[in-house]
Structure 1
Amino acid sequence: MRLLPILLILLFVSCSTKDEPGCYVSDVDFTNLETAYGCENTKSQLDIALENTFTFINSQTEYNEQTSGTCMPDIDFDTYTLIIGKKALSNGNTSISYDYSNDCATATNTLTVTFYQNETTEAPNLTYHILSPKIDEGTTVEVIININ
Protein backbone atom coordinates (compact mmCIF):
# COMPACT_ATOMS: atom_id res chain seq x y z
CA MET A 1 0.00 0.00 0.00
CA ARG A 2 2.92 2.36 0.58
CA LEU A 3 3.96 1.95 -3.03
CA LEU A 4 0.65 3.21 -4.41
CA PRO A 5 1.32 6.95 -3.74
CA ILE A 6 4.82 6.61 -5.20
CA LEU A 7 3.48 4.84 -8.29
CA LEU A 8 0.82 7.52 -8.77
CA ILE A 9 3.43 10.28 -8.53
CA LEU A 10 5.64 8.50 -11.08
CA LEU A 11 2.67 8.04 -13.39
CA PHE A 12 1.81 11.75 -13.36
CA VAL A 13 5.43 12.86 -13.74
CA SER A 14 6.10 10.54 -16.67
CA CYS A 15 2.89 11.39 -18.58
CA SER A 16 3.36 14.98 -19.59
CA THR A 17 0.87 16.48 -22.04
CA LYS A 18 2.99 19.46 -23.07
CA ASP A 19 4.90 17.50 -25.74
CA GLU A 20 3.00 16.54 -28.85
CA PRO A 21 3.53 12.89 -29.79
CA GLY A 22 6.07 12.61 -32.60
CA CYS A 23 6.89 16.31 -32.43
CA TYR A 24 10.50 17.32 -31.87
CA VAL A 25 13.20 19.71 -33.02
CA SER A 26 14.65 18.53 -36.32
CA ASP A 27 17.20 19.77 -38.83
CA VAL A 28 15.77 21.35 -41.98
CA ASP A 29 17.51 20.72 -45.29
CA PHE A 30 18.40 23.93 -47.10
CA THR A 31 20.61 25.09 -49.92
CA ASN A 32 22.16 28.38 -51.01
CA LEU A 33 22.66 30.44 -54.13
CA GLU A 34 26.19 29.09 -54.64
CA THR A 35 25.12 25.45 -54.64
CA ALA A 36 21.75 25.76 -56.37
CA TYR A 37 22.57 28.45 -58.93
CA GLY A 38 26.37 28.65 -59.22
CA CYS A 39 26.77 32.11 -57.67
CA GLU A 40 30.18 32.95 -56.21
CA ASN A 41 31.25 34.70 -53.00
CA THR A 42 27.75 35.93 -52.16
CA LYS A 43 28.85 37.18 -48.73
CA SER A 44 30.66 39.99 -50.59
CA GLN A 45 29.17 39.98 -54.10
CA LEU A 46 25.44 39.93 -53.25
CA ASP A 47 24.06 43.10 -51.71
CA ILE A 48 20.77 44.02 -50.08
CA ALA A 49 19.83 47.32 -48.40
CA LEU A 50 19.67 45.99 -44.84
CA GLU A 51 21.63 46.84 -41.72
CA ASN A 52 22.20 44.12 -39.09
CA THR A 53 18.85 42.47 -39.78
CA PHE A 54 17.25 39.99 -42.16
CA THR A 55 14.24 39.62 -44.42
CA PHE A 56 12.37 37.03 -46.46
CA ILE A 57 12.16 37.13 -50.23
CA ASN A 58 9.34 35.11 -51.78
CA SER A 59 9.30 36.12 -55.45
CA GLN A 60 11.63 36.85 -58.33
CA THR A 61 10.32 40.42 -58.49
CA GLU A 62 11.21 41.01 -54.82
CA TYR A 63 14.66 39.49 -55.40
CA ASN A 64 15.35 41.66 -58.46
CA GLU A 65 14.14 44.83 -56.70
CA GLN A 66 15.89 44.28 -53.34
CA THR A 67 19.25 42.78 -54.29
CA SER A 68 22.15 43.77 -56.49
CA GLY A 69 25.47 42.28 -57.48
CA THR A 70 26.79 39.52 -59.68
CA CYS A 71 24.31 36.85 -58.54
CA MET A 72 20.99 37.36 -60.33
CA PRO A 73 19.61 33.86 -61.09
CA ASP A 74 16.00 32.92 -61.75
CA ILE A 75 15.16 31.35 -58.38
CA ASP A 76 12.43 28.72 -57.97
CA PHE A 77 10.29 30.62 -55.45
CA ASP A 78 7.57 27.95 -55.67
CA THR A 79 10.05 25.70 -53.86
CA TYR A 80 12.12 28.15 -51.80
CA THR A 81 11.93 31.14 -49.49
CA LEU A 82 15.15 33.17 -49.45
CA ILE A 83 16.19 34.21 -45.95
CA ILE A 84 18.76 36.95 -46.43
CA GLY A 85 20.44 39.42 -44.10
CA LYS A 86 23.40 41.69 -43.48
CA LYS A 87 25.85 41.79 -40.60
CA ALA A 88 28.50 44.44 -39.92
CA LEU A 89 31.63 42.93 -38.41
CA SER A 90 34.53 44.54 -36.56
CA ASN A 91 37.29 42.56 -38.26
CA GLY A 92 37.89 40.22 -41.20
CA ASN A 93 35.87 37.12 -41.96
CA THR A 94 37.15 33.69 -42.92
CA SER A 95 33.84 31.89 -43.44
CA ILE A 96 30.17 31.61 -42.52
CA SER A 97 28.32 28.47 -41.43
CA TYR A 98 24.61 27.81 -41.08
CA ASP A 99 22.40 25.52 -39.01
CA TYR A 100 18.66 25.44 -39.64
CA SER A 101 16.09 23.61 -37.54
CA ASN A 102 12.35 23.38 -36.95
CA ASP A 103 10.50 22.99 -33.67
CA CYS A 104 7.12 21.61 -34.70
CA ALA A 105 5.63 22.13 -31.22
CA THR A 106 6.08 25.91 -31.52
CA ALA A 107 6.00 26.23 -35.35
CA THR A 108 9.38 27.98 -35.14
CA ASN A 109 12.30 27.64 -37.51
CA THR A 110 15.68 28.70 -36.12
CA LEU A 111 18.52 29.77 -38.41
CA THR A 112 21.87 29.99 -36.63
CA VAL A 113 24.48 31.94 -38.60
CA THR A 114 28.07 31.69 -37.37
CA PHE A 115 30.70 34.11 -38.65
CA TYR A 116 34.27 32.84 -38.27
CA GLN A 117 36.52 35.86 -37.93
CA ASN A 118 40.23 36.43 -38.50
CA GLU A 119 42.75 39.00 -37.33
CA THR A 120 42.66 41.33 -40.35
CA THR A 121 41.61 44.94 -39.75
CA GLU A 122 39.03 44.88 -42.53
CA ALA A 123 35.53 45.60 -41.13
CA PRO A 124 33.16 44.00 -43.64
CA ASN A 125 29.41 44.33 -43.91
CA LEU A 126 28.54 40.83 -45.11
CA THR A 127 25.46 39.29 -46.68
CA TYR A 128 24.28 35.93 -45.37
CA HIS A 129 21.51 33.80 -46.83
CA ILE A 130 19.91 30.40 -47.21
CA LEU A 131 17.29 29.03 -49.57
CA SER A 132 14.80 27.45 -47.17
CA PRO A 133 12.07 25.07 -48.23
CA LYS A 134 9.01 27.28 -48.78
CA ILE A 135 8.05 28.68 -45.37
CA ASP A 136 4.40 28.16 -44.44
CA GLU A 137 2.30 31.11 -43.33
CA GLY A 138 2.22 31.20 -39.54
CA THR A 139 5.72 29.78 -39.15
CA THR A 140 8.01 31.99 -37.08
CA VAL A 141 11.66 32.25 -38.08
CA GLU A 142 14.29 33.23 -35.54
CA VAL A 143 17.80 34.16 -36.69
CA ILE A 144 20.63 33.78 -34.19
CA ILE A 145 24.00 35.37 -35.02
CA ASN A 146 27.22 34.00 -33.52
CA ILE A 147 30.62 35.60 -34.05
CA ASN A 148 33.66 33.39 -33.43
Structure 2
Amino acid sequence: MKIAKLNRVGALIIDLIFISLAYTLIFNFIPEEWLTTTQQYGWVLQTGTLLYYGTFLVYFLLFDFTNSGDSPGKELLKLQTRDMSGQKLERKRSIKRTLLKLVSMIICPVSALLYLFGEGEFSLHDAYFNTSVFPQGKPVKNHLFN
Protein backbone atom coordinates (compact mmCIF):
# COMPACT_ATOMS: atom_id res chain seq x y z
CA MET A 1 0.00 0.00 0.00
CA LYS A 2 1.35 3.43 -0.91
CA ILE A 3 2.42 5.87 1.77
CA ALA A 4 -0.24 8.36 0.58
CA LYS A 5 -2.99 5.83 1.36
CA LEU A 6 -1.49 5.12 4.79
CA ASN A 7 -1.35 8.84 5.60
CA ARG A 8 -4.93 9.30 4.50
CA VAL A 9 -6.12 6.32 6.56
CA GLY A 10 -4.15 7.73 9.50
CA ALA A 11 -5.89 11.10 9.10
CA LEU A 12 -9.27 9.37 9.09
CA ILE A 13 -8.39 7.44 12.26
CA ILE A 14 -7.39 10.71 13.99
CA ASP A 15 -10.67 12.28 12.88
CA LEU A 16 -12.67 9.26 14.08
CA ILE A 17 -11.00 9.57 17.49
CA PHE A 18 -12.06 13.24 17.70
CA ILE A 19 -15.57 12.32 16.52
CA SER A 20 -15.80 9.53 19.10
CA LEU A 21 -14.72 11.90 21.88
CA ALA A 22 -17.34 14.46 20.83
CA TYR A 23 -19.96 11.70 20.55
CA THR A 24 -19.15 10.44 24.05
CA LEU A 25 -19.50 13.92 25.51
CA ILE A 26 -22.82 14.50 23.74
CA PHE A 27 -24.14 11.00 24.53
CA ASN A 28 -23.56 11.52 28.28
CA PHE A 29 -25.99 14.44 28.30
CA ILE A 30 -28.90 12.63 26.61
CA PRO A 31 -31.77 11.65 28.92
CA GLU A 32 -31.93 7.87 29.39
CA GLU A 33 -35.51 7.63 28.12
CA TRP A 34 -34.35 8.91 24.71
CA LEU A 35 -31.89 6.05 24.32
CA THR A 36 -34.43 3.49 23.24
CA THR A 37 -34.80 1.76 19.93
CA THR A 38 -37.23 3.61 17.70
CA GLN A 39 -39.06 2.38 14.65
CA GLN A 40 -39.15 4.83 11.79
CA TYR A 41 -39.85 4.29 8.11
CA GLY A 42 -39.86 0.52 8.58
CA TRP A 43 -36.28 0.43 9.92
CA VAL A 44 -35.30 -0.18 13.50
CA LEU A 45 -32.73 2.47 14.35
CA GLN A 46 -30.70 2.84 17.50
CA THR A 47 -30.57 6.41 18.79
CA GLY A 48 -26.85 6.11 19.51
CA THR A 49 -26.07 5.10 15.94
CA LEU A 50 -28.00 8.05 14.56
CA LEU A 51 -26.23 10.35 16.99
CA TYR A 52 -22.81 9.01 15.94
CA TYR A 53 -23.48 9.58 12.24
CA GLY A 54 -24.90 13.00 13.09
CA THR A 55 -21.72 13.85 15.00
CA PHE A 56 -19.65 12.61 12.04
CA LEU A 57 -21.63 14.81 9.65
CA VAL A 58 -21.43 17.94 11.83
CA TYR A 59 -17.70 17.41 12.41
CA PHE A 60 -16.82 17.25 8.71
CA LEU A 61 -19.31 19.96 7.69
CA LEU A 62 -17.75 22.26 10.27
CA PHE A 63 -14.38 21.93 8.54
CA ASP A 64 -16.00 22.29 5.10
CA PHE A 65 -17.21 25.72 6.25
CA THR A 66 -14.09 26.79 8.11
CA ASN A 67 -11.09 25.05 6.54
CA SER A 68 -11.82 24.11 2.91
CA GLY A 69 -12.54 20.51 3.86
CA ASP A 70 -9.25 19.96 5.66
CA SER A 71 -10.02 18.21 8.95
CA PRO A 72 -7.77 18.14 12.04
CA GLY A 73 -6.54 14.67 11.01
CA LYS A 74 -5.45 16.02 7.64
CA GLU A 75 -3.89 19.09 9.25
CA LEU A 76 -1.90 16.97 11.73
CA LEU A 77 -0.57 14.76 8.93
CA LYS A 78 -0.01 17.77 6.66
CA LEU A 79 -2.54 16.76 4.00
CA GLN A 80 -4.93 18.92 2.01
CA THR A 81 -8.08 18.28 0.00
CA ARG A 82 -7.95 19.79 -3.48
CA ASP A 83 -9.46 19.31 -6.91
CA MET A 84 -7.29 17.66 -9.54
CA SER A 85 -5.92 21.01 -10.71
CA GLY A 86 -4.67 21.73 -7.17
CA GLN A 87 -7.30 24.35 -6.31
CA LYS A 88 -9.16 24.54 -2.99
CA LEU A 89 -12.70 23.20 -3.18
CA GLU A 90 -15.61 25.59 -3.31
CA ARG A 91 -17.76 25.34 -0.18
CA LYS A 92 -20.77 23.84 -2.00
CA ARG A 93 -18.65 21.13 -3.64
CA SER A 94 -16.89 20.38 -0.35
CA ILE A 95 -20.24 19.95 1.43
CA LYS A 96 -21.56 17.62 -1.26
CA ARG A 97 -18.32 15.63 -1.03
CA THR A 98 -18.81 15.30 2.74
CA LEU A 99 -22.37 14.05 2.29
CA LEU A 100 -21.14 11.39 -0.13
CA LYS A 101 -18.34 10.56 2.33
CA LEU A 102 -20.98 9.89 4.99
CA VAL A 103 -22.84 7.57 2.63
CA SER A 104 -19.61 5.74 1.82
CA MET A 105 -18.90 5.38 5.56
CA ILE A 106 -22.34 3.80 6.04
CA ILE A 107 -21.48 1.25 3.33
CA CYS A 108 -17.97 1.16 4.79
CA PRO A 109 -16.88 -2.39 3.97
CA VAL A 110 -17.44 -1.86 0.25
CA SER A 111 -15.93 1.62 0.03
CA ALA A 112 -12.99 0.72 2.30
CA LEU A 113 -12.11 -2.32 0.18
CA LEU A 114 -12.34 -0.29 -3.03
CA TYR A 115 -10.05 2.36 -1.58
CA LEU A 116 -7.52 0.07 0.08
CA PHE A 117 -7.17 -2.46 -2.72
CA GLY A 118 -8.06 -0.39 -5.78
CA GLU A 119 -5.49 0.78 -8.28
CA GLY A 120 -5.73 4.51 -7.65
CA GLU A 121 -5.71 6.63 -4.53
CA PHE A 122 -9.33 7.67 -4.89
CA SER A 123 -12.18 7.06 -2.52
CA LEU A 124 -15.77 7.00 -3.78
CA HIS A 125 -16.35 10.65 -2.89
CA ASP A 126 -13.09 11.69 -4.55
CA ALA A 127 -13.83 9.77 -7.74
CA TYR A 128 -17.29 11.35 -8.01
CA PHE A 129 -16.16 14.93 -7.31
CA ASN A 130 -12.78 14.67 -9.10
CA THR A 131 -10.81 15.52 -5.95
CA SER A 132 -8.02 13.96 -3.96
CA VAL A 133 -5.96 14.49 -0.81
CA PHE A 134 -2.43 15.76 -1.38
CA PRO A 135 0.56 16.48 0.85
CA GLN A 136 0.59 20.17 1.81
CA GLY A 137 2.80 22.25 -0.43
CA LYS A 138 3.46 19.46 -2.91
CA PRO A 139 2.40 20.14 -6.51
CA VAL A 140 -0.51 18.03 -7.74
CA LYS A 141 1.49 16.72 -10.72
CA ASN A 142 4.19 15.28 -8.47
CA HIS A 143 1.66 13.63 -6.17
CA LEU A 144 -0.26 11.89 -8.93
CA PHE A 145 2.70 10.35 -10.69
CA ASN A 146 5.03 9.38 -7.81
Higher relative contact order (CA 8 A, sep 6+): 1
The structure with the greater share of residues assigned to strand is 1
Larger radius of gyration: 1
**TM-score normalised over the length of structure 1:** 0.23
